[in-house]
């Protein structure tokens, strides 16, 4: 039986650009998570992203560019408030939903009139975007619904036999996907919680967090079940859960407290720091998923700052 070799991992931007120009896929680093990138203007490359991830075609993709000017070339209108947010938070973990121009493939946006677009804050990927003449569609570089990758090794573990190259930029330092917003009648509407603190957004105007449990989402990453390990995960009061599941082989995902009565305990932040916890979340879930345990018991982070986005991911990971 022919066994396909794993992807090459390296830092050659020129090699990544050549592959992308030939409609191949390349995993790229960002400050949030690693993305599976392809030419956002070529339907064949976009279709390969969906196929490689086994992602349903009704779940749209985020487009990555290297500056506001290039973003403006892809959209019909760029509301003043959205432009102000872009000036403040790009490069960074903010994705804007904006009305797309006619040349943008419908497969990129799952047929919606708006496209999700951002400027990633990673020097390697920004250099890559400068070298190529097209934007990059890049959802998280993992099988659909599984835990998002925050290192090149995570990508290789699950997609290494399906793509030729992984551009290695080190561990993602935010660890959660971008916050997705649109501007509706001067209100900042949040479609997905993410790496940008809502309290900072509120300094720019009224913020409304939309319901994100949809079966046919306009914005990426909004399905009920997502970011999930293969093992069952239950979120709640850990002391109560440990009593209830005392007869099971359990792993614990705790925010700051160390528990000794489990097979495996990962603490997201001994310093009670929600930003540190976010950076460690997906890696911790992957580690527990590989342990010889029956289920994962976890708890929510404090509902402050990026902790709200952590809890959103935990809720989706435990949905069943």
Q: What are the sequence ranges of the domains in the chain?
A: 8-179, 232-317
What is the three-class DSSP state of 316? helix
Strands 62-64 and 114-118 turn out to be: parallel
Tokens describing residue 81:
């408030």
The pLDDT score that the predictor gives to residue 145 is 87
Across the 320 residues of the chain, what is the mean pLDDT of every consecutive 10-residue run? 75 98 98 98 97 92 98 98 98 98 96 97 98 97 94 96 97 96 96 95 96 60 69 95 91 92 85 96 95 94 95 87
Ramachandran quadrant class, 92 (left: phi over 0; alpha: psi -120 to 50; beta: rest): left
The pLDDT score that the predictor gives to residue 1 is 42
Q: At how many degrees (to 10) do helices 13-21 and 123-131 cross?
A: 50
Q: How far apart are CA 244 and CA 228, in angstroms?
A: 22
The pLDDT score that the predictor gives to residue 211 is 75
Compute the radius of gyration of the chain from its Cα atoms. Answer: 19
Buried b (16+ CB within 10 A) or exposed e, 178-207: bbbbbbeeeebbbbbbbbbbbeebeeeeeb
Fold of 232-317: Rossmann fold (3.40.50)
pTM for the full model?
A: 0.92
Q: Which of these, 172, 175, 144, lies nearest to 159 by C-alpha position?
A: 144
Do the Cβ atoms of 306 and 173 come closer than 8 Å?
Answer: no
Q: How far apart are CA 195 and CA 176, in angstroms?
A: 6
CATH code, 8-179: 3.90.870.10
**CA distances for 201 relative to 91, 184, 211, angstroms:** 15, 15, 18
| Per-state percent for the chain, helix, strand, coil, to nearest 5 | 30, 20, 50
Using a 10 angstrom Cβ sphere, with 0-12 exposed, 13-18 middle and 19 or more buried, the burial of residue 132 is middle
Q: Which of these, 45, 100, 107, 39, lies nearest to 73 by C-alpha position?
A: 100
Do the Cβ atoms of 118 and 135 come closer than 8 Å?
Answer: no
Q: Which of these, 246, 242, 286, lies nearest to 266 by C-alpha position?
A: 286
Q: What are phi and psi of 13, to 5 degrees?
A: -65, -40
The pLDDT score that the predictor gives to residue 286 is 95
């Amino acid at each position: 039986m022919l066994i396909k070799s794993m992807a090459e991992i390296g830092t050659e931007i020129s090699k990544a650009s050549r592959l992308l120009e030939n409609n191949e896929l390349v995993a790229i680093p960002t400050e949030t998570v690693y993305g599976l990138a392809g030419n956002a203007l070529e339907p064949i490359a976009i279709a390969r992203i969906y196929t490689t991830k086994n992602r349903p075609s009704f779940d749209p993709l985020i487009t990555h560019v290297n500056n506001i000017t290039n973003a403006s070339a892809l959209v019909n209108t760029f509301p003043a408030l959205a432009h102000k947010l872009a000036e403040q938070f790009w490069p960074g973990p903010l994705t804007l939903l904006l009305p797309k121009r006619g040349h943008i493939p419908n497969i990129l946006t799952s047929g919606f009139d708006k496209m999700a677009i951002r400027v990633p804050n990673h020097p390697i990927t920004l250099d890559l975007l400068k070298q190529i003449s097209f934007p990059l569609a890049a959802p998280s570089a993992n099988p659909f619904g599984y835990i998002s990758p925050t290192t090149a090794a995570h990508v290789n573990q699950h997609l290494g036999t399906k793509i030729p190259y992984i551009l290695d930029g080190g561990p993602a330092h935010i660890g959660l996907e971008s916050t997705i917003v649109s501007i509706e009648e001067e209100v900042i509407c949040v479609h997905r919680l993410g790496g940008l603190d809502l309290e900072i957004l509120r300094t720019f105007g009224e913020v409304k967090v939309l319901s994100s449990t949809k079966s046919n989402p306009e914005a990426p990453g909004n399905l009920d079940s997502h970011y999930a390990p293969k093992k069952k995960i239950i979120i709640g009061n850990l002391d109560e859960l440990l009593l209830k599941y005392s007869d099971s082989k359990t792993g614990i995902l705790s925010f700051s407290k160390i528990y000794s009565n489990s097979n495996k305990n990962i603490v997201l932040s001994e310093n009670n720091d929600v930003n540190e916890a976010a950076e460690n979340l997906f890696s911790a879930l992957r580690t527990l998923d590989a342990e010889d345990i029956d289920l994962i018991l976890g708890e929510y982070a404090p509902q402050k700052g990026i902790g709200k986005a952590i809890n959103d991911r935990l809720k989706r990971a435990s949905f069943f």
